[in-house]
């Protein structure tokens, strides 16, 4: 597979995202188009706007599809990653959290497919950093012994931390997410011990998992993401390893805790 030319779909069907989702039903094991669209929109896919096709043409002009395909080939070779389809769509310009925390871009990765949701204003390096983050997820999910459906909170925070450290490794701190600098190391260590580690085995279906990851309710903002970045970076520095070497390392080892403690 490769980067799917969703730009052609968008120019024909931009105002009909459900029809676009009909084209990818085979990727979602029997789910219907409205379910797929709601799921993708929740993670950043666009809602039709008046001048939306102009954004699509801007992405075309910037050769986003070609650039991501080159990145895919490069990282697939470098990391030994799987050959998965990549779908690119505009991002939701009305999603304030997406704009504030992720500069209007986001992604969604599985072991067998990948989605990018991009703003017309995202620079080339930003898009490359986003793809690096999401494709690292794909590689981890496909190489890690544990199946994705069995992931718990600790697996998720390490998954996110590894992906963003990979961005740091490839592009430097200028292109890592803003949430990586929300807290000091002392604050992160304290929050890891008191707020996250006690709930590390919560499954992804548990409400607490989502609250900790994003910092909802009374939890600090983007808590799970920040803790994951901190733990992976700490492990890399102490063991003098690169991100590529961590793709199939057990979560508990990276988090430096005994598995059954």
Max distance between CA atoms of the chain, in angstroms, equals 55
Express each pLDDT in 170-184 by its tens digit: 999 999 999 999 999
Which pLDDT does position 258 carry in this prediction? Answer: 54
Residue pLDDT, tens place only, 88-142: 999 999 898 888 888 899 999 999 999 999 998 899 999 999 999 999 999 999 9
In whole angstroms, what is the distance from residue 85 CA to residue 112 CA? 7
Q: What number is the average pLDDT over the span 37-66?
A: 95
Whether 119 contacts 52, CB under 8 Å: no
pTM over 0.85: yes
Q: Which helix (H) or strand (E) holds 157?
A: helix 153-171
CB atoms within 10 A of CB 7: 17
3-state secondary structure 116-150: EEECCCCCHHHHHHHHHHHHHHHHHHHHCCCCHHH
Spell out the domain ranges in the chain. Answer: 6-143, 148-254
Q: 74-80: long-range contacts (C-beta < 8 A, 24 or more apart)? A: 75/131, 75/132, 75/135, 76/135, 78/244, 79/135, 79/136, 79/139, 79/244, 79/247, 80/139
Q: Which of 160, 179, 156, 169 is nearest to 129 (CA)?
A: 169
As a whole-number percent, the residues of the chain with pLDDT over 70 amount to 98
Q: What is the pLDDT of residue 100?
A: 82
Contacts 24+ apart (CB under 8 A), 241-246: 242/169, 243/136, 243/162, 243/165, 243/166, 243/169, 244/78, 244/79, 246/162
- Cα(217)–Cα(238) distance, integer angstroms: 33
- pLDDT score of 259: 43
Residue 261, pLDDT score: 36
Q: Which residues pair with 117 in a beta bridge?
A: 89, 106
Helix (H, G, I), strand (E, B) or coil at 28: helix
For residues 212 and 223, is the Cβ–Cβ distance under 8 A? yes
């Amino acid at each position: 597979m490769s980067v799917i030319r969703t730009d052609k779909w968008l120019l024909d069907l931009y105002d009909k995202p459900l029809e676009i989702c009909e084209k990818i039903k085979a990727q979602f094991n029997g789910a219907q188009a409205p379910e797929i669209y709601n799921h993708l929109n929740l993670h950043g896919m666009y809602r039709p706007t008046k001048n939306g096709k102009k954004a699509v043409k801007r992405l075309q002009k910037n050769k986003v599809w070609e650039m991501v395909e080159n990145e895919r080939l490069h990282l697939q070779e470098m990391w030994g990653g799987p050959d998965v389809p990549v779908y690119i769509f505009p991002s939701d310009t009305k999603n304030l959290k997406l704009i504030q925390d992720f500069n209007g871009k986001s992604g969604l990765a599985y072991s067998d497919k990948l989605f990018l949701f991009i703003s017309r204003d995202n620079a080339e390096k930003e898009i490359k950093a986003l793809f690096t983050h999401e494709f690292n997820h794909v590689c981890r999910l496909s190489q890690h012994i544990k199946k994705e459906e069995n992931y718990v909170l600790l697996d998720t925070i390490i998954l996110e931390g590894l992906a963003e450290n990979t961005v740091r490794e490839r592009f430097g701190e200028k292109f890592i997410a803003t949430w990586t600098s929300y807290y000091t190391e002392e604050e992160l260590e304290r929050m890891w011990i008191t707020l996250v580690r006690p709930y590390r085995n919560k499954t992804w279906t548990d409400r607490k998992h989502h609250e900790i990851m994003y910092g909802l309710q009374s939890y600090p903002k983007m808590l799970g993401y920040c803790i994951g970045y901190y733990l992976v970076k700490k492990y890399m520095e102490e063991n003098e390893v690169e991100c590529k070497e961590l793709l199939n390392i057990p979560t508990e080892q990276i988090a430096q805790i005994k598995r059954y403690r």
